[in-house]
Structure 1
Amino acid sequence: MIFELSFIWAGLIAFAVFAYVLLDGFDLGIGILFPLLKDREERHLAMNTIAPVWDGNETWLVLGGGGLFAVFPLAYAIVMPALYPLIIAMLLGLIFRGVAFEFVHRTKRMQTFWEVGFWGGSLVATIAQGMALGALVQGIAIEGRAYAGGNWDWLTPFSALTALALVVGYAMLGATWLMLKTEGATFERARRFARPLGVGLLALIGSISLITPFLRPEYLARWFGWPSGIWSAIVPLLLALAVWQLWKGLRDGDHARPFLATVAIFGLSYAGLGVSFYPNLVPPSLTIVEAAAPDKSLAFLLVGASVLIPMILGYTAYSYWVFRGKVRPEDGYH
């Protein structure tokens, strides 16, 4: 085969996960920033900027998780037992955040409770995702075709660092999204948030980038070996360009550039993970080919994906187009 079906599917799953991180990242970031906004009116304005799209953003999580189960069942069977507490915490956080999002506009007596729930659910879901990422980067113990680690292997200083980085990163996405979608005092407040968040995010990305190559010998070889190190160097160079655009956008008070630059920073950080992982799906030893379902199953599922993914992309793009532009306090979707 010129193209391995397993690699095509690995690309599709990677795309779905990145789409989720990017699209749900800024609305989780709005939730993380919630207590820092000026008053209830400003908090509800922030919620209205994501109201038309937040539930559709989570479609990509379903696609990524369901695709992993169907296409890479061995990886799913190994990763889930390793990360059960984090997956459960993430789902509970997302559920509670979703309930809070709907109830906060429909009650007066318990409005504060649901506002706190929106913040708490967003924070818990983000921390769980960040710790799961750190656990994957460190590697999951595998014996035969099963998870061989302990119940708490995911809880390490490195996974705590990645969780902190994701909290700061999502908050940065949220702040720059508010810059994109609001104006006046809310825009300026989001701009003030974005400056320290940007510095913190870059410091955390730098720390994780310095630590990661030394977690495993294969990571070190991919980043600094010859000739792979030449191609790997493209990622930090492009990251420096994105950081410059972010700084320039924040300095000039640009409405769109900070958000686009933050998206680029996330994309390049995600590419850096790909450099470290490839060709493994579950580090340190389970490769994409080994984890994949039979080719007949992959081909059958690819037919459905070739219809489903363009449909999701289409309605996602349409919803963002319809609700483009600035959101003002008098606007509302509830």
Structure 2
Amino acid sequence: MELDLPLVWALLLATAVFLYVAMDGFDLGVGILFPALKLKQDRDVAVGSIAPVWDGNETWLVLGGGGLLAVFPLAYAIVLPALYMPLIVMLLALVFRGVAFEMRFRAATPQGRLGWDTGFWLGSTVAAFAQGVALGAFVQGIEVQGRAYAGGWWDWLTWFSLLTGAALVAGYGLLGATWLVWKTEGALHELARRLARRFAILTLVAILAVSAVMPFLQPGFAARWFGLPTVLFAWVVPLAVVALAWVLFRALAAAAPSGPRTSLLWRDAIPFGVALGLFLLCYAGLGLSMWPHIVPPGITIWDAAAPPATQAFLLAGAAVLVPVILVYTGFVYWIFRGKVRPGEGYHH
């Protein structure tokens, strides 16, 4: 049987994008939470919890963007002009956030540190919002004539894209809060637990709002969610979201301070794992709605694919590169697997 290279690459790039959202999402979420972290010590601990991993988390964004250009060049040539503005804003915000992350440790005065902390929050929030806006603009459909983008400069700006932008900020805030539940102790742990409950409610409301609208954005979406036979298994996703929401609130209640926090490390990790599960279910629902289009509503992965020889050559490289990245990433997370204490770093 001949290998379906566009399908293999579509699954690989979809995995890379999800890993970026999951990994960079929680460190963006930590930045989004900064206004709620009033104490310098709490902010230092929060930043210390992501410092060993935050640069590596963005590797998956590079892999996803580079892979799209190399393997699906038609999709890249159409999507980029349609989303130039939110993507440029996202990249500038990520750069500004990175500068603020480094400079907050070098600020000579409390006012200077507060300024860089504000920049870190602003860069994280704007980057998350821009990613959500780009996602919404992509999902609602891109106007294409022939093999080129035929829409206008502001087509990305709609009420739906603004809704998805706000939804992603809420979701990243949930990831950041549950990450801090896992990685911190004492008063900061308790604050993170309260923030996680609030952002969980916001995220679930956002999921409900986006899910209520999405089937009606395009006829193909409605057919998948309400037509036979897909309706028989499509509703597994929302039911699973409800189940995970229940587990999340139970896990947050169980993460309340009681005894030595280090001994509860893995119990404290459950809310973060459940939050990632919610993101995975939403991602699966998005994939179910769009499949097999890589540029909705009309260009499939096979339409946009590069020549088979190109795909095969790049797949050989990815077969080596991706496992190396996964092993290295897993090793870093294992090394820094403990909780962070003020002035002490990680404690295993």
TM-score, normalisation: structure 2 = 0.94
- 2:280 aligned residue (267, 270, 274): 267
User: Aligned match of 2:317 in 297, 304, 313?
Assistant: 304
**Per the alignment, in what secondary structure is the counterpart of residue 133 of structure 1?**
helix
Deviations 1:22-53 (CA, angstroms, capped at 9, x unpaired): 00000000000011102111111100000000
Moved over 2 A (4+): none
What SS is found at the alignment partner of 1:327?
strand
Alignment of 1:80-229 (within 5 A): 80-109=80-109, 110-229=112-231
Q: How many angstroms apart in 2 are the aligned matches of 1:331 and 1:27?
A: 20
Unaligned runs of 5+ in 2: 256-266
**Structure 1 residues 101-151: Cα deviation after superposition (integer angstroms, max 9, x where no partner):** 111111223222211111111011111100000001100001000001111
Rounded to whole Å, the distance in 1 between the matches of 2:189 and 2:337 is: 16
1:196-240 per-residue CA deviation (whole Å, 9 max, x = no partner) reads 211111011011101000111100001111001112122112222
Q: 1 CA distance for matches of 2:344 and 2:97?
A: 22
Cα deviations across residues 53-88 of structure 1 (Å, max 9, x unaligned)?
A: 000000000000000000100000000000001111
Whole-angstrom CA distance in 2 between matches of 1:47 and 1:160: 28
Answering whether residue 17 of structure 2 is matched by residue 17 of structure 1, we say yes
Match for 1:258: what amino acid?
A: P
**Residues 245 and 257, structure 1, Cα contact 8 Å, conserved in 2:** no
1:147-181 superposed Cα distances (whole Å, 9 cap, x missing partner): 01111011111000000000000000000000000
- The answer for unaligned runs of 5 or more in structure 1 is none
CA distance in 2, matches of 1:102, 1:143: 45
Q: Secondary structure at the match of 2:283?
A: helix
When structure 1 is superposed on structure 2, of 232-241 and 275-284 the one drifting more is 232-241
C-alpha displacement of 1:2? 4.0
Q: Report SS of the residue matched to 1:250.
A: helix
Give the root-mean-square deviation of aligned CA atoms.
1.0
How far has the Cα of 1:331 moved from its partner? 2.3
AA in 1 matched with 2:269:
A
TM normalised by structure 1 equals: 0.98
Secondary structure at the counterpart of residue 230 of structure 1 = helix
For this pair of structures, how many residues does the alignment match?
A: 333
Residue 298 of structure 1: how far off its partner (Å):
0.3
Counterparts of 1:26 and 1:331, CA distance in 2: 22
Structure 1 counterpart of 2:172, which letter? Y
Say if 2:302 is the partner of 1:289. yes
CA distance in 1, matches of 2:71, 2:284: 22
| AA at the equivalent of 1:190 | A
Is 2:47 aligned against 1:75? no
In the other structure, the counterpart of 2:61 is 61
- In structure 2, give the amino acid aligned to 1:199: I
Task: State percent identity of aligned pairs.
Answer: 58
1:26 is paired with a residue of what secondary structure?
Answer: helix
